[in-house]
Amino acid sequence: MRIDRRTALKGAMAGAATLAAPGFIPAAAQGRRETLLVVSENAPNSTDIHGVGANRPAYEASWNVYDRLMTFGVKKDERGNDHYDYEKLEPELAEEWDLRPMSVTFKLRRNARFHDGTPVTAQDVKWSFDRAVTVGGFPTFQMGAGSLERREQFVVVDDHTFRVDFIRRDKLTMPDLAVPVPVIINSALARRNATEQDPWAMNWLRSNPAGSGAFRMERWVPGQEMVFVRNDQWASGPRPALARVIWRIVPQAGNRRALLERGDADLSFDLPPKDFQELQQSRRLKIVSTPVENALNYLGMNVVRGPFADVRVRRAVALALPYERIMEQAMFGQGTPMFGGPAEPASATWPQPAPFATNLERARALMAEAGQANGFDTTLSFDLGTATVSEPAALAIAENLGRIGIRVTINKIPGANWRNELLKKELPLFLNGFGGWLNFPDYFFYWAYHSQDAIFNTSSYKNPAMDALIDRSRFEEDRAAYEAAIRGFVMLAWQDVPRVPIFQPWLNVAMQNSINGYRYWFHRQLDYRTLSKTA
């Protein structure tokens, strides 16, 4: 269906004219107030959160199409904006649960139905959880972060009663059941589309959702748009105000900004920091900025081979970075500095500023101590999809490293290939960001610093002392001992410096003033269920 705004959109700019494609925004049919138009740079590559290489936009598709047993509550942040509450678990598909020392039993909603009308049962929950702990890669590692490791832990009591048996006492088990990975899949539908070579229907579910969530996917043109419609039979929460969400991919940031400023798009996020700085100053749109909890953008180094295997070289790099210049010229102040802190951890929290600051003289001395007085050649890689921030940061870093003898060639890796190249753990020097879904310091370090083949330990860093501190903190019940372990592994991270913290990112969202109900989530994607429009 074409819309009456097509002429206006075509007149806005040539690059945005494709927004008027057929099926783009059937506002006349649904009503402008019930239809949300979202524009973003990056497209989802899957609707299956368990899929190999599922990217961050895929989390949004999965989050809105599938249910989980539980969800997190809501609180206000320091600026008065809605923010998920990681300390409060609330019912979703499970209407109640009975938590015991070594198990939890869930009672499922009896009126819950998948999008095809099939009742949701405990057998579906078990099949979904069995899948998550079996397929390997990110979903299996994520489940393991909450000590959800074995299919035998998941027990069907009856059609509407499901039990999880614990293999150890782990404070992350319950919140780990409310993150995006443990979705409930229509197991009968998935099995019908499985094969002997693909028993978990990975290929089919990549582009064919089988959920019971508040929205169902109506249309998907990969790389262009995804359209969701409200599931009016949704039983796991209040009926959403939005009847339809059109998510359009507009690669050029200038086009996305223009669409917002003209009122032709309702909401966008991940615009360049400079744009957000200017939009905040203009006050024409509603801007919500939220520091991403448990997250850092950093410069990583390969500590296994090459010159960065020497900790003195890594410390020299940490003292050579042009921190202030990065914040000014790449971030435009849209982030929290994570440098220039005290010599020792100031608290048992994360993230907190590291004790590094630009000191080229000391950096050169460390290079000489490491036998690298004449320097060396290396490559600095970054995700081309983050070029608006990463490219100016990389240029500033390359210039300063050159002043201590490290001659840098910049390597721009296309966004579609970035995750795979990063996880090979072969890049000598790279810019990246990582955030932990659950807001606990030990959770971040489990993913980023533990040696047991942690996926996001992108520097291949291994230190038995670090592993011991992380493991102790994960299961420690004494508060003082827990905080001591946190201070210990933070200090060790600064001493060994496999990655150099630069800043804590902010999630910036720009929307029309008519949009209400936006809630910040740890996965940094949109939850359509709480959004509404007044016009």
pTM for this model (two decimals): 0.87
Task: Return the closest-CA partner of residue 55 out of 123, 138, 144.
Answer: 138
Calpha distance 178→170 (Å, rounded): 15
Q: Note the pLDDT of residue 6.
A: 38
The residue with tokens 């979202």 is: 38
pLDDT band at 434 (very low <50, low <70, confident <90, very high): very high
| Residue-by-residue DSSP string for 359-421 | -HHHHHHHHHHTT-TT-EEEEEEEEGGGHHHHHHHHHHHHHHHHTTTEEEEEEEE-HHHHHHH
Q: Is 290 in contact with 506 (CB distance < 8 Å)?
A: yes
Which two structure tokens, joined as six digits, stand for 204? 């089919």
Q: What is the mean pLDDT of residues 403-422?
A: 91
Buried (b) or exposed (e) across 166-198, using 16+ Cβ within 10 A? beeeebbbbbbbbbbbbbbbbbebbeeebeeee
Q: Coil, strand, or helix at residue 165?
A: strand
User: How does pLDDT run across 238-278, given as a tens digit for each residue?
Assistant: 999 999 999 999 988 999 999 999 999 999 988 889 999 99
Q: Is 248 in contact with 19 (CB distance < 8 Å)?
A: yes
Is residue 20 predicted with pLDDT exceeding 50?
no
Q: Is 516 in contact with 532 (CB distance < 8 Å)?
A: yes
Beta-bridge partner residues of 247 = 38, 226
Question: Angle at which helices 360-369 and 311-320 pack, to 10 degrees?
Answer: 170
Could you tell me which residues come within 8 angstroms of residue 136 by beta carbon, excluding any fewer than 6 positions away?
none
Q: For residue 141, how many other CB atoms are within 10 A of its CB?
A: 18
CA 388, 394, 396, 397 dihedral sign is positive
Domains of the chain (ranges; CATH) run 6-66+213-266+512-533 (3.40.190.10), 86-188 (3.90.76.10), 295-505 (3.10.105.10)
Q: Note the pLDDT of residue 453.
A: 66
Q: Is 318 in contact with 497 (CB distance < 8 Å)?
A: yes
Q: β-strand 515-516 against 286-291: which pairing, if any?
A: unpaired
Lowest mean pLDDT among 42-46, 103-107, 361-365: 42-46
**First-to-final CA distance of the chain:** 21
Beta-bridge partner residues of 433 = 297
User: How does pLDDT run across 176-205, given as a tens digit for each residue?
Assistant: 999 999 999 999 999 999 999 999 999 999
Q: Coil, strand, or helix at residue 495?
A: helix
CA angle in degrees (0–180, nearest 5) for 9-12-17: 50
Is residue 340 predicted with pLDDT exceeding 60?
yes
